[in-house]
A = this chain, B = another copy of it.
Amino acid sequence: MADFELTSRENHPENTIIEVGGAKIGDGNLCIIAGPCSIESEEQIMRIAKAVKDAGAQMLRGGAFKPRTSPYTFQGLEDDGISYLVKAGHEVGLPVVSEITDASQLRLFDDVDIIQVGAKNMQNFGLLHVLGKTGKPILLKRGFGATYEEVLSSAEHIMAAGNDRVILCERGIRTFETYTRFTFDVSSIPSLKSLTHLPIIADPSHPAGRYELIEPLSLAAVAAGADGLIIEVHDRPDEALCDASQALKPDKFASIVEKAKGVKAAI
């Protein structure tokens, strides 16, 4: 496993646990991260932060830099978005997670607790190296065309650069089935857990593409051994500036949190 010197379970049998604020990812607990796809205003993120906190979330997510396929759609509030997110996290007492899409944005992430690398940048090695020089936990999403070995290799890039706080995230792959937006590869969770000591969480929102599938995918991920979930929640889906069809309302989210705990206890 020379190529996976730092990430392989063979070399590091103990599970890695990443602590952020009061939350832990990678131990026996289930870490639930929730929030809107995009931060749309200070008021919006504050409102949703309270709602997800009340519903049982342990971390708050929100996008300020959106790697949108088209250059003509909403690209995020950028600097202001990060400020609003950090403020909302402080206000409700939740650590915050946000996606970086370019190394030039790094200075803005000082108060962000976990920096996310999205699926489209999973093999943006320049960005991975810069993040490897920080002490921040990195949430690394699997690319939708990437194998397990490639996700691990990208984690290895971050760790080889000096940062051993990496969290993997399954978010679905491209297949011929088009009923769902992506095919949620639930097998990746136990497979990666046998290959690596790093924690693995699941994003059920992007593969689902439709909100009614988020509960079954969330529970399936937990049943398969996921260390956590990252779920898109919006209290006013009709107004959401992106991914409206997969936005979950807070009450539905609360119900998932309850059931997920039950499933976690059963396995």
Select the stretch in A42-50, A214-222, A228-236, A244-252 that faces chain B.
Answer: A214-222
- Inter-subunit contact B213/A191 (CB<8 Å): yes
A109 at the interface (CB under 8 A from B): no
12 additional contacts (CB under 8 A) given A69-B149, A102-B103, A180-B191:
A71-B153, A71-B157, A103-B126, A120-B123, A148-B179, A173-B175, A173-B176, A174-B174, A175-B175, A184-B185, A184-B186, A265-B266
Interface residues of A, CB < 8 Å — how many? 70
Which residues 250-267 of A have a CB within 8 angstroms of B?
259, 262-263, 265-267
A15 contacts the other chain (CB 8 A): no
- Residues of B within 8 Å of A175, CB to CB, are 173, 175-176, 183, 185
- Taken together as a complex, chains A and B put the C-alpha atoms of A170 and B219 apart, in Å, by 17
Task: Say whether A36 faces chain B, with CB atoms less than 8 Å apart.
Answer: no
Which of the segments A56-64, A88-96, A139-147 contacts the partner chain?
A139-147
Specify how many copies of this chain sit in the oligomer. Answer: 4
Q: Closest CB of chain B to A141's CB: distance in Å?
A: 13
17 examples of A-B residue contacts, CB within 8 angstroms? A2-B72, A69-B150, A69-B153, A102-B126, A124-B127, A145-B173, A145-B174, A147-B178, A175-B176, A184-B185, A190-B216, A216-B225, A219-B263, A223-B263, A262-B266, A263-B266, A265-B266
Partner of A156, one of B2, B70, B150, B207: B70
User: Which residue of B104, B153, B187 contacts A217 across the interface (Cβ within 8 Å)?
Assistant: B187
A173 is contacted by which of B68, B183, B189, B212 (Cβ under 8 Å)? Answer: B183
